[in-house]
Structure formats: structure tokens, C-alpha cells
Amino acid sequence: SQQGEEDPQALSIQEGENATMNCSYKTSINNLQWYRQNSGRGLVHLILIRSNEREKHSGRLRVTLDTSKKSSSLLITASRAADTASYFCATDARGAQKLVFGQGTRLTINP
Amino acid sequence: EAGVAQSPRYKIIEKRQSVAFWCNPISGHATLYWYQQILGQGPKLLIQFQNNGVVDDSQLPKDRFSAERLKGVDSTLKIQPAKLEDSAVYLCASPLRKQSAVTGELFFGEGSRLTVL
């Protein structure tokens, strides 16, 4: 079963704009991760945020986590055409010892 | 460059035929995962190995899917007989780094895309 649900399912913006994707989950977690998948390729790990962290940065990526609302957001600043991809959140649920992925957000950056 | 190798990249078969996928994970990691990704969905865990042993195969359709990991290195995933709904990308993954066995961060292969006609 899918633990995380991403919102929106699809997002199209102009190059240079910021892109925000949201993820909601159902159970208590150890950490939450974000992955990127280019068309026809495997998933690439972007960033991990632990359950006791509220915000994390990596380059143009900013991730927030609100455990009280069971939600996370991924912000990509100053988007580029190369950011066009699907983005998935994945949760490492406590006691489950496995990574469960959401349905993904399909991001399109228009030049 | 070390990574997760998968083959074949593409396979087209007719329903009720069989197919096998191969994965060579990042060396030195005991854990190996097979995920199924249906078009438009996120990956779903099929089976997790720790060395040669199965840790989790709760979502593996055991009437048609089987997987093995010989000598704790390479792994094969087999489907016999295939159904139309098995059309998907089959992804193999290793822990991203040594401490990822605890955090669950994964390094994925490029996947094997299966089309069942």
C-alpha cells in the first residue's frame, strides 16, 4: 500500500520559478526521503530529513517536515529545464524497516 | 563507476510466458531490494533480501513471482506465467551508503521495463 501521497500530481512552471511539492503520510516515521526520476531512468536519492528535524537544505532544494500534520514539502528554487522529472517522497515507517513510496509529482519546467 | 546493474533493460513477452530479470547490486552491501513500478505510480516493494535470506516478501505474488539471491550477491526475479497487469518497470536497489542500511536511503538501478501483450 502507498504510505505517502504527493500533491499536486502534476506541476508545470516557467524556468526560473520556484516549484513546491507536498507529501502527506499516515503513520509515524523514522525519516522521510525525496527522490527524483527522469523519464525512463531509475530513481535518484535527493535528500533525507529525520523525524526530529523540521527543515533541511541541499543546494537549490529545501525540505520541510511537520510530524504533527504528517506532511512534508519539497521546494526547488530557481528551477531549470533539467529539473523536469517525477519527484517521489518515501517514508521509512517506524517498525516497518522498509521504504514506502508515494505516487509522485510530475514536474515540467518550461523554457 | 560502481552502481546497480540490471538486465535486460527492455523485454516484451506474451501473457503466460515467463521472464527473468537480473540484478548486480553495489558490492559490499548485504541488503538488496526489488521494486515494481507500474506506469504513473510510485515503486512498490516486492522483496527485500539480507544476504541470501528473505527479509520481506509480503507483497510478492508468490503464485507467479519468485526471486533468489545466490551467494549474497547477484539476484534474479522471475515471473511465470506473466499476466497483462505485470507490465511495469522492475527496479533493483542497494543501500546508498554503508549507514543507509539503517536510514533506508537507496541507490536504484535503471530498471527493466516489461511489456506483457
Q: How far is B15 from chain A (nearest CA, A)?
A: 23
Give the pLDDT confidence score for residue B19 in this predicted structure: 98
Q: Which 3 state secondary structure label does DSSP give B22?
A: strand
* Secondary structure in 3-state letters for A9-66: CEEEEECCCCEEEEEECCCCEEEEEEEEECCCCCEEEEEEEECCCCEEEECCEEEEEE
Give the pLDDT confidence score for residue A95 in this predicted structure: 64
Q: What is the H or E stretch that residue B13 is in?
A: strand B10-13
Residue with the larger pLDDT of the pair B40 and A2: B40
Cell, residue B74: 547477484
Say whether pLDDT at A90 is over 50.
yes
Nearest CA in chain B to A43: B108
Determine contact: B55 vs chain A, CB below 8 A: yes
B102 — pLDDT class (breaks 50, 70, 90)? low
- How confident is the model over A32-89, as pLDDT tens digits? 999 999 999 999 999 999 999 999 999 999 999 999 999 999 999 999 999 999 999 9
Put simply, the answer to whether A43 touches B4 (Cβ < 8 Å) is no
Q: How far is A48 from chain B (nearest CA, A)?
A: 8
Say whether pLDDT at B99 is over 70.
no
Cβ contacts of B20 within 8 Å, gap of 6 or more: B76, B77, B78, B79
Determine contact: B26 vs chain A, CB below 8 A: no
Nearest CA in chain A to B97: A45
Give the pLDDT confidence score for residue B100 in this predicted structure: 65
CA-to-CA dists, residue A58 to A71, A74, A79, B79, angstroms: 19, 11, 14, 40
CA-to-CA dists, residue A88 to A48, A97, B67, B101, B111, angstroms: 12, 18, 26, 20, 16
Cβ contacts of A64 within 8 Å, gap of 6 or more: A49, A54, A55, A72, A73, A75
Provide mean pLDDT across the span A86-106: 87
Q: Which 3 state secondary structure label does DSSP give B69?
A: strand
A1 — pLDDT class (breaks 50, 70, 90)? very low
Say whether pLDDT at B2 is over 50.
yes
- Prior bond to B25 cis, omega within 30? no
Residue to test with chain B: of A88, A99, A105, most B Cβ within 10 A: A99
Say whether pLDDT at B1 is over 60.
no
Put simply, the answer to whether B55 touches A97 (Cβ < 8 Å) is yes
Considering chain B, what is the average pLDDT of its residues?
92
Name the nearest CA neighbour of B42 among A102, A65, A63: A102
Task: For chains A and B, count residue pairs whose Cβ atoms are closer than 8 Å.
Answer: 57
Q: How many Cβ atoms from other residues are within 10 Å of residue A57's Cβ?
A: 11
CA dist., res. B41 & res. B44, Å (int): 9
Give the pLDDT confidence score for residue A96 in this predicted structure: 64
Residues in chain A closer than 8 A to B4 (CB atoms)? 42
CA dist., res. B101 & res. B96, Å (int): 8
Cell, residue B68: 533468489
Determine contact: A42 vs chain B, CB below 8 A: yes
Give the pLDDT confidence score for residue B26 in this predicted structure: 87
Residues in chain A closer than 8 A to B111 (CB atoms)? 41-42
- How confident is the model over B21-70, as pLDDT tens digits? 999 998 888 899 999 999 999 999 999 998 889 999 999 999 999 999 98
Say whether pLDDT at A110 is over 50.
yes
Say whether pLDDT at A26 is over 60.
yes
